[in-house]
């Protein structure tokens, strides 16, 4: 299997956004919880931005914009499944939604897609997987979208793992979101105050995926096929990938004469001596356990969302190279 993408292939490891699920009808409550964690601006009390309702009407979201144009999507179903009449089209759609069987917390992470790529991203990943001996497969691309609160319609193309909807292990692999309408409409990075937070969070430093020891090698190979390159093996129980920054972040870093930050994706064996990690993989299977943010000052340590883990890492403790 080729270790790296050819120059004509799109990157399949550019972090776009991370999805956080809360119980039905709680987008506003989740927004307040993230504000309480410091994702609020003293300049403009609106960096937790109301996103709108998705095209299917089943889910709604709010956004937390970060300084590198990556964002957090705070999402919930608009109604519990029981609010729809049994056997109605709405109930069938609600019950068959890919996230209907997922517990609250860090639900998924998205990489930037390429809707015009040929071959499409799903075919590219599937070819890698077939060549590399992995069972992972991505489904053919499908159209998606939502309508913002101001009425603007957004359109994108999704590339998702075929096993994405599984209740166990569904959050261990990325999906891909490729914009048909301009990304700036989906991700309101202007004004800059949208990404100014009192907790001084600048960007995602690391995403931590936990796996049971028995599944570690298989999940590592799956991620290698999706990302298009092998990991950095820090130990037999920890593999790391350096992700690509968004084009907006690269341009801004170049203008400032500083290196762009490359988020880290860390796959790690759950520590059997840590009850919380064991419980997580028992309940979720391999999946996204914790998101770490690079902060300039102030916040340190680990907190809860309350449904997922967040950690704060001071900028001075991080290396900015992409080696």
Separation of alpha carbons 283 and 323, rounded Å: 35
Angstrom distances, CA of residue 184 to CA of 50, 91, 191, 250: 15, 33, 11, 16
- What local confidence, expressed as pLDDT, does residue 190 receive? 87
Tokens of 64: 């937390």
Angstrom distances, CA of residue 275 to CA of 88, 272, 278, 310: 42, 7, 5, 17
Only one residue has tokens 């999940």, namely 219
Residues of the chain with CATH 2.60.40.4320: 193-317
Separation of alpha carbons 243 and 238, rounded Å: 16
- What local confidence, expressed as pLDDT, does residue 55 receive? 56
Only one residue has tokens 């600048």, namely 202
Residues 6+ apart with CB under 8 A from 168: 284, 285
Domain 193-317 has CATH 2.60.40.4320: yes
Tokens of 72: 């957090």
- What local confidence, expressed as pLDDT, does residue 50 receive? 59
Write out the DSSP string of 181-203: S-HHHHS---SGGGG--TT-EEE
- What local confidence, expressed as pLDDT, does residue 173 receive? 96
- Architecture of the domain spanning 15-186: Roll (3.10)
Residues of the chain with CATH 3.10.180.10: 15-186
pLDDT, one tens digit for every residue, the chain (323 residues): 333 444 468 999 999 999 999 999 998 899 999 999 999 643 223 345 555 555 567 888 889 999 999 999 999 999 999 999 999 999 999 998 888 888 899 999 999 999 999 999 999 999 999 999 999 999 999 998 888 778 889 999 999 999 887 778 888 999 999 999 999 999 988 888 889 999 999 999 999 999 999 999 999 999 999 999 999 999 999 999 999 999 999 999 999 998 999 999 999 999 999 999 999 999 999 999 999 999 998 778 999 998 999 999 999 888 755 44
């Amino acid at each position: 299997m080729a270790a790296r993408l050819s120059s004509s292939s799109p990157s399949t490891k550019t972090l776009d956004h991370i999805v956080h699920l809360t119980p039905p009808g709680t987008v506003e409550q989740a927004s307040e919880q993230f504000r309480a964690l410091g994702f609020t601006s003293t300049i403009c009390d609106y960096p937790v931005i109301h996103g709108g309702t998705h095209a299917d009407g089943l889910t709604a979201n709010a956004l937390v914009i970060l300084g590198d144009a990556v964002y957090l999507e705070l999402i919930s179903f608009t109604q519990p499944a029981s609010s729809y009449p049994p056997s109605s089209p709405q109930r069938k759609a609600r019950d068959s939604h890919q996230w209907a069987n997922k517990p609250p917390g860090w639900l998924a992470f998205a990489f930037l897609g390429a809707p015009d790529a040929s071959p499409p991203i799903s075919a590219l990943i599937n070819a890698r997987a077939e060549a590399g001996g992995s069972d992972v497969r991505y489904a053919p691309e499908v159209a998606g979208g939502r309508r913002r609160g101001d009425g603007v319609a957004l359109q994108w193309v999704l590339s998702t793992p075929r096993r994405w909807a599984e209740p166990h292990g569904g959050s261990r692999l990325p999906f891909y979101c490729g914009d048909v309408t301009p990304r700036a409409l989906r991700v309101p990075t202007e004004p800059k105050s949208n990404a100014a937070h009192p907790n001084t969070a600048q960007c995602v430093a690391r995403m931590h995926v936990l796996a049971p020891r028995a599944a570690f090698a298989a999940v590592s190979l799956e991620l290698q096929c999706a990302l298009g390159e092998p990991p950095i093996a820090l130990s037999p129980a920890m593999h790391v990938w350096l992700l690509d920054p968004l084009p907006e972040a690269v341009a801004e870093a170049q203008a400032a004469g500083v290196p762009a930050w490359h988020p880290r994706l860390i796959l790690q064996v759950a520590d059997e001596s840590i009850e919380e990690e064991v419980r997580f993989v028992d309940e979720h299977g391999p999946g996204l356990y914790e998101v770490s943010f690079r902060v300039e000052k102030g916040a340190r340590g680990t907190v809860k969302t309350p449904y997922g883990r967040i950690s704060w890492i001071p900028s001075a403790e991080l290396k900015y190279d992409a080696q």
